[in-house]
């Protein structure tokens, strides 16, 4: 139930889409104290048409980094990569990522956290676009099996030359 919990914390939706990046599961909470910086608002900046666009491979690598960070309960990295999704959740009354993610981290089992630290994505299952990449939960390969209710699908979007979890 870990990844879906992260997704819920980031996107304000239950189930469905995940907000994890290339780190553990898409969990979005932790017991760490809130950060004084606001990565969610800076990473939620609108896409820049003049910025160099990243390849879809970069989106997968960034999602893997997000999952790995979630497994380590690295609040700073998770909130930076999931900034747009976290901002959307905050706008819906969920609270800032730095406060909601620690709670989500607590809902992920130790085995799932460990698995997220080394999880990878099967690129053959990824739907790639120039500025938007959809990563289904079924594409995540980890030492622990994650169900769709544990780990939702993730949508990555290129904004200003960097990939972010947006849904």
Q: Phi and psi for 41 in degrees, rounded to 5?
A: -75, -35
Q: Identify the CA nearest to 162 among candidates 71, 75, 67, 82.
A: 82
Looking at per-residue pLDDT, the higher value among 157 and 15 belongs to 157
Q: Where are the domains of the chain?
A: 2-165
Taking residues 54-68, report their average pLDDT. 85
Cα-to-chain-centroid distance, residue 9? 10
**Six-digit token string for 148:** 């769709």
Please report the pLDDT score of residue 102 as a whole number: 94
- What pTM did the predictor assign? 0.70
Percent share of the chain, pLDDT over 90: 58
Roughly what angle, to the nearest 10 degrees, separates helices 83-91 and 2-11?
Answer: 60
Residue with tokens 């992920």: 108
Q: What is the pLDDT of residues 107-147, one digit of tens each?
A: 899 999 999 999 999 999 999 998 999 999 999 999 998 87
The answer to whether 136 and 162 are in contact (CB under 8 A) is: no
Q: Which residues contact 63 (CB under 8 A, 6 or more apart)?
A: 20, 21, 22, 81, 121, 133, 135, 154, 156, 163, 165
């Amino acid at each position: 139930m870990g990844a879906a919990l992260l997704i819920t914390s980031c996107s304000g939706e239950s189930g469905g889409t995940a907000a994890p990046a290339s780190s553990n599961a898409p969990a979005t909470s932790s017991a760490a104290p809130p950060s004084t910086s606001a990565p969610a608002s800076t990473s939620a900046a609108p896409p820049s048409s003049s910025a160099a666009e990243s390849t879809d491979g970069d989106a997968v690598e960034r999602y893997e980094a997000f999952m790995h960070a979630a497994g380590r309960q690295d609040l700073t990295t998770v909130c930076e990569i999931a900034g747009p999704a976290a901002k959307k959740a905050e706008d819906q009354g969920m609270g800032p990522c730095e406060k909601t993610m620690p709670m989500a981290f607590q809902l992920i089992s130790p085995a799932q956290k460990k698995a997220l630290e080394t999880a990878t994505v099967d690129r053959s299952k990824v739907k790639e676009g120039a500025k938007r990449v959809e990563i289904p939960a079924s594409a995540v390969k980890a030492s622990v099996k994650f169900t769709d209710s544990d780990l939702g699908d993730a949508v990555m979007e290129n904004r200003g030359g960097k990939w972010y979890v947006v849904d």
